[in-house]
Structure 1
Amino acid sequence: MTRNISKSVVGFTAGILLMGCGATTMISTPIEKIDSMPLKVTDLTESQKKSWGHADLASDTIPGMSVDKAYREIIGTKKGSKVIVAVLDSGIDLEHEDLDGVLWTNKKERPGNGKDDDKNGYIDDIHGYNFLGESYNEQLEYARILRLKLGDAGLQAKAKTELDKEYQQALGNKQQYEQILQAVENADAAIKQHLGKSEYTKKDVSGIKSENQDMQRHVAVLTQMYTFADSIPEVLEELNNGIKHFTEQLNYNLKVDFDGRKIVGDDPYDLMDTNYGNGNPQNRVDDESHGTHVAGIIAAERNNGKGANGVANNVAIMSIRAVPNGDEYDKDIALGIRYAVDNGAKIINCSFGKSFSPNADWVYDAIKYAASKDVLIVHAAGNDGANLDDPKNPNYPNDQINNGSEFADNVITVGALDPEYGSDMVAAYSNYGAINVDVFAPGTDIYSTIPNNKYEFMPGTSMASPGVAGVAALVRSQYPSLSASQVKKVILDSGLSVKAAVILGGDASKNNTLDKISTSGKIVNAYNALIIARGMATGK
């Protein structure tokens, strides 16, 4: 259950930042010791669940990014300059009702004529480019390393160790889910027969009094399942989805002799082999929803009476399909970044990552190229609940090598928050690191677009990153004179500092303050970012 702190309990303080003729209030952080008083928690309303990432900590007691407050008190009707944001991901539903009006269009290209009209090296790239061709399922990088015998013996040994561990874990998870599914299905059938109806509630189940041990066991099974979802059909759906996920891992991601790239027709380890892919960056199957969800977080059309509001109000989304159902290829990411830069993107969202990267230098060079062209990259920190500063937990791509100095000043790496302000607000799955993670932003149960004009809640640092990309787009739209590195500084400097310790990796014995697990020690705040951006842009 998602909860937030009741606003009647916590007092807030505010600092004042003078700007121009008037004064604009900066948000400062609430009480320093979050857990030092008995905080009351309340359920999020249905409306809050769908927009908590836009909420304001001071007025809503939800650790959102103060997006609605920024529009209400700063932006108003000011549209600003249009900003092109590239979504380097799994493709986007280009016909979605909440996205079709915010797509980037290459006006120099004529659709469907099979020609490279604008001479940019890509044919029919109307709304972006598809570096995956018609492929979808793909191996994880360490499975590819073993299949193709990439690197030296040391790299292959590390890859085999990781593959063996992950394979056994996926196999065990699949078997466990299947056993639970069988128990729930049996209990569901027995309860329906006992109650004499096909639909029942948690109250119905709790009201069953029986001396029959089998019935007692069925009631116990469903009672436990109600702690995970509001209804048994939801539980069954989640269990079946889990089995499907682990089956795909075993059949594709972790299968050494699977070759998902063959259909594309290129050599993915030759950066000069660029004649591949096509100009249709649309998702290929309904389950390929990640990119559509990410795009909606950034830019779903605001206040149109439909499912979700994006963070930014004046952007054009460029779709670059480069992330398969498995690990992305370094070549696709490097070329995807360069494509975005060369075609006008000012921000690139990268909600992906992996622990092995045989050609990381290609991506590093692309990041440096983006920096040289004043393009900001926002990257998800990853979902292993791990400290990325530990050399045992590499995460690619990044903007430094072996925890050294940043080689480019245009990358923001984002960890994820839960909607409950307090010691549990850093999501249990979120990676962290004083060197490798810059800021935290809302990431758990974010409501956004998915294919076929649908909407869904999704969790992950993949959802936190586009929230920050949206804030960056707001800043670049309202203050286009600011450089990518300046926008990065604005976002890191303007966040809310949290002094209290937060639990890491879901382990209550592991905790630290945000300044020890991120470079900024802050959670992103759009309202404050616009205030600081104005001061930086105008000198006032």
Structure 2
Amino acid sequence: MKFRSIYLSVALALALASCGTAKITAEPIAIKTPIVAKKAALTESQEKRWSHLDIVKDSIPGMSVDRAYELLKGKKGTKVIVGVVDSGVDIAHPDLKPVVWVNTKEIAGNGIDDDKNGFIDDVNGWNFLGNAEHENLELVRVLKKGDDGSETYKRAKAEYDKEIKEAQAGKQQMDFIMKADQKIRAELKKENYTVEDLKGLKSADQLVNAVKPQLIQILSTMDKAEFDKEIKEGKDHYDNQIEYNLNLKFDGRKIVGDNPNDINDKKYGNNNVTGPVADGAKHGTHVAGIIAQTRNNNLGGDGVASNNVEIMAVRAVPDGDEYDKDIALGIRYAVDNGAKVINGSFGKYFSTHSDWVYDAIKYAADKDVLIVCAAGNEGMDLNEGGGIKERYPNDNRLSQKEIADNFLTVGAISYNYGPGLLADFSNYGKTDVDVFAPGVRIYATTPENTYEFLQGTSMASPNVAGVAALIRAYYPKLTASQVKHIIMDSGIPVSIDVNLGGDPDDKRSFSELSRTGKIVNAYNAIILADKMSRK
């Protein structure tokens, strides 16, 4: 019997070896000759999926995802659970429904914690914010505690004074433009006026004449519908800042019902992973789509790893700054319930309980889970002067030493290979950013069966999380640390000078903007993963 068992095991291994495990012999993509710097003119179809295209074949600095799938033809991957710690996910979106994680150990709607994991009816994930939507920034929460004479309080006060002034000025400008827009529409007797309409408008109104040159300039680069959308979003942003994010009298946590300063107070939240308002889940739904929206279905964009992932929704990021407690418990929830990759498209510059998050990162490392995180959108050097800016989460406790080898920080690039390659908004840093990935105008799912172009390092991070999930799906024996280094080592190095913060007079070599000086490349990553898996 023993010999027969051994024989069957060997036969099975040989059968598996002959079915989908053939060695990949393709050569990695490399920039062997200088690519002519140019501002890309994308077609409509390219724009919706440029991050999947190829720098050599298409002259677009995407991640070569399409070419990666060519390598994987005939190979069978396993399902990988990706935890999306974010603002919530619209799990009813048709392009995400097929990939939503289902906790099969839980019986939906029976009000019982069937799997004894501490969360009742957590069928698709958990909502650590309950019915809360808006929140203060962390610096406001610091100020609310009172002046304790600390450097943290002083820094928070200085930042608050700066931000409230900017928010008030921004709101005033938005209100000014919207008022002028209303008058112009009334005078022209039309809603969607054009540049030609404005040029022909002879108005006696001082406000209209003051704004008209600015509007002519704006409408020469976008249509009126897009302009209206941008202005509304700008007004909503500044209104939210003043009413919620920077409002010292606002308490967004009361509705949750827990003590956010007690990590052991864990019985809070609910199983509504979308959240109380569908639009509040736009950010998380978009992030989930970048990773997992269905490929090649002629709807929206394409997910990096859609055929091989399940999205576990963890709602922990409000409109405002996230609480360290929610992030720490959210990471632990994802780890404990089977996630092998976690995406964190959030961040802040003050943290009152950062140790809880550091402990959660180390916990994830111990459980072989990779965390991919956005570098931030302030267009600044996180390592200016050789130091480290206080941006959270990070994996280094604001020192030069990493606490764990399972954490990737991602900056954003645009589709313009040349001086404009670094996204205007993206943070960078020689030691505190690991790699870069597409993050400008990324097309993906948004709530209630819609799609939008959004941008930020928030979009670059899930692009990389998708590559990580693809690797873990086809090479499940590779560890989180190995996957991290495969992504870093297999990227395409770039040494051209690029604009910092969109300033053409402030340039630096792209090679100096991160640990690797590289753009993530899925094709190269699969080749290296295949090679490492055979060692």
Please give the TM-score of this superposition, normalised by the length of structure 1: 0.90
Q: CA–CA distance in 2 between the matches of 1:188 and 1:217?
A: 15
Indicate which of 338, 360, 377 corresponds to 1:383.
Answer: 377
Question: What is the identity, as a one-letter code, of the residue corresponding to 2:292?
Answer: A
In structure 1, C-alpha distance between the alignment counterparts of 2:524 and 2:93, rounded to whole Å: 32
- The 8 Å contact of residues 449 and 455 in structure 1, kept in 2 or not, is answered as yes
Answer yes or no: is 1:56 the counterpart of 2:48: no
Is 1:412 matched with 2:405?
no
Q: 1:388 to 1:198 in 2, by over 3 A?
A: closer
Q: Kindly provide the amino acid, as one letter, of the partner of residue 146 in structure 1.
A: L
Q: Distance in 2 between matches of 1:68 and 1:20?
A: 19
Alignment of 1:225 onto 2:227: no
- The structure-2 alpha-carbon separation of the partners of 1:305 and 1:78, relative to structure 1 and needing over 3 Å to count, comes to farther
Equivalent residue for 2:29?
A: 27
Query: SS in structure 1 opposite 2:166?
Result: helix
How far apart, CA to CA, are the structure 1 residues paired with 2:493 and 2:273?
39
Provide Cα deviations, 1:30-64, integer angstroms capped at 9, x if missing partner.
644x6xx6x55452111111101111111111111
Tell whether the 8 Å contact from 2:90 to 2:278 is kept in structure 1 after alignment.
Answer: no
Separation in 2 of the partners of 1:88 and 1:20? 36
SS at match of 2:57: helix
Which structure 2 residues correspond to residues 24-173 of structure 1 after superposition, within 5 A? 24-29=26-31, 31-32=33-34, 39=37, 41-71=39-69, 73-149=70-146, 153-173=150-170
CA contact (8 A) 1:338 1:366 kept: yes
The 1:219–1:509 alpha-carbon spacing in structure 2 relative to 1, beyond 3 Å, is closer
CA distance, structure 2, for counterparts of residue 356 and residue 460 of structure 1: 20
Query: Which residue in the other structure is 1:272 paired with?
Result: 264
- The structural deviation recorded for 1:203 is 5.4
Query: 1:338 maps to what in 2?
Result: 332
Partner of 2:481: 485
Instruction: Find out whether 1:240 has 2:241 as its counterpart.
Output: no
Which residue matches 1:303? 296
What is the DSSP-based 3-state SS (H/G/I as helix, E as strand, rest coil) of the residue aligned with 2:318? coil
What SS does the corresponding residue of 1:361 show, helix, strand or coil?
Answer: helix
Q: Distance in 2 between matches of 1:446 and 1:150?
A: 42
Report the CA distance between 1:181 and its aligned residue.
2.3
- Indicate if the aligned counterparts of 2:40 and 2:415 stay in contact, CA closer than 8 A: no
Give the C-alpha shift of residue 202 in structure 1.
4.2
Aligned residues: 510
Aligned to 1:14: none
After superposition, the Cα gap between the structure-2 partners of 1:365 and 1:56, relative to the gap in structure 1 and judged at 3 Å, is: same
Please give the per-residue CA displacement for 1:258-294, whole angstroms capped at 9, x wherever unaligned. Answer: 1100011100000011111112211322331100000
What is the deviation of 1:303? Answer: 2.0
Post-superposition Cα deviations, 1:471-510, rounded to whole Å, max 9, x if no partner, equal 0001001111100000001000111110111111122232
Q: Is the 8 A contact 1:98 1:308 kept in 2?
A: no
- Secondary structure at the aligned position of 1:440 is classed as strand
Any conservation in 2 of the 1:292–1:450 contact (CA below 8 Å)? Answer: yes
What's the CA shift string for 1:311-362, capped at 9, x where partnerless? 0021010000000110000000000111111111000000000000010000
Instruction: Identify which of 398, 403, 412 aligns with 2:399.
Output: 403
In 1, Cα distance between equivalents of 2:248 and 2:203 = 52
1:437 counterpart residue number: 433
Aligned mate of 2:321, from 310, 327, 331: 327
Residue deviations 1:148-207 (CA, integer Å, cap 9, x gap): 3497633222111111111001111111122222233333443x35xxx6655445656x
Measured in 2, the distance between the counterparts of 1:56 and 1:468 equals 15
Question: 1:151 and 1:342, CA in 2 relative to 1: closer, same or farther beyond 3 A?
Answer: farther
Q: Distance in 2 between matches of 1:212 and 1:258?
A: 43
Contact 2:388-2:398 within 8 A present in 1 as well: no
Q: Secondary structure at the match of 1:448?
A: strand
SS at match of 1:456: strand
Matches of 2:349 and 2:142, distance apart in 1: 12
**By how many angstroms is 1:216 displaced?**
7.6
- Aligned partner of 2:11 in structure 1 is none
2: CA distance, partners of 1:283 / 1:248: 18
Cα distance, 1:20–1:346 mapped onto 2, change above 3 Å:
closer
Code of the aligned partner of 2:397: I
Aligned-partner Cα distance in 2 for 1:31–1:155: 49
Contact 2:177–2:211 (CA under 8 A) maintained in structure 1: no
Task: Describe the shift of the 1:174–1:45 C-alpha distance in structure 2 as closer, same or farther (beyond 3 A).
Answer: same
Alignment of 1:358-377 (within 5 A): 358-377=352-371
Give, in whole Å, the separation in 1 of the partners of 2:304 and 2:228: 33
Whole-angstrom distance in 1 between the partners of 2:374 and 2:465: 10
Aligned-pair CA distance for 1:233: 2.9
Write out per-residue CA displacement over residues 392-432 of structure 1, whole angstroms, 9 at most, x where no aligned residue. Answer: 73210101023311110000100001111111111010000
What amino acid is aligned across from residue 276 of structure 1 in structure 2? Y
Could you say what secondary structure the match of 1:101 adopts? helix
- Going from structure 1 to structure 2, the CA distance change for 1:427 and 1:22 (only over 3 Å counts) comes to closer
Classify 1:169/1:221 alpha carbon distance in 2 versus 1 (closer, same or farther; 3 Å): closer
Per-residue deviation, 1:29: 2.1
Could you tell which deviates more after superposition, 208-217 or 113-122? Answer: 208-217
CA distance in 2, matches of 1:351, 1:332: 14
Structure 2: 5+ residue runs without aligned partners? 1-20
Q: Are the counterparts in 1 of residues 126 and 272 from structure 2 also a CA contact under 8 Å?
A: yes
Letter in 1 for 2:468: A
Structure 1 Cα separation of the partners of residues 92 and 525 of structure 2 = 32
Once residues 58 and 485 of structure 1 are traced to their aligned partners in structure 2, the CA distance between those partners, rounded to angstroms, is: 29
Contact 1:341-1:375 at 8 Å conserved across structures:
yes
Distance 2:248 2:209 in 1: 45
The alpha-carbon distance between structure 1 residues 209 and 102, as it changes in their structure 2 partners (threshold 3 A), is closer
Amino acid at match of 2:295: R
Distance 1:443 1:402 in 2: 25
1:506-540 Cα deviation digits (max 9, x unpaired): 2223222222110011000000000000000013x
CA distance in 2, matches of 1:198, 1:27: 50
**Aligned in 2, Cα 1:28/1:150: closer, same or farther, shift over 3 Å?**
farther
Counterpart contact for 1:479–1:533, Cα < 8 Å: yes
Contact 1:424–1:502 (8 Å) recurs in 2: yes
CA distance in 1, matches of 2:460, 2:86: 14
Separation in structure 1 between the aligned mates of residue 79 and residue 393 of structure 2, nearest angstrom: 28
Alpha-carbon separation, structure 2, partners of 1:218 and 1:87: 42
Q: SS of 2:63's equivalent?
A: coil
Shift of 1:309: 1.3
* SS of equivalent to 1:183: helix
How far is the alpha carbon of 1:254 from its aligned partner?
0.3
Shift of 1:220: 3.1
CA positional deviation for 1:386: 0.8
Q: 1:348 is matched with which residue?
A: 342
3-state SS in 2 of match to 1:302 = coil
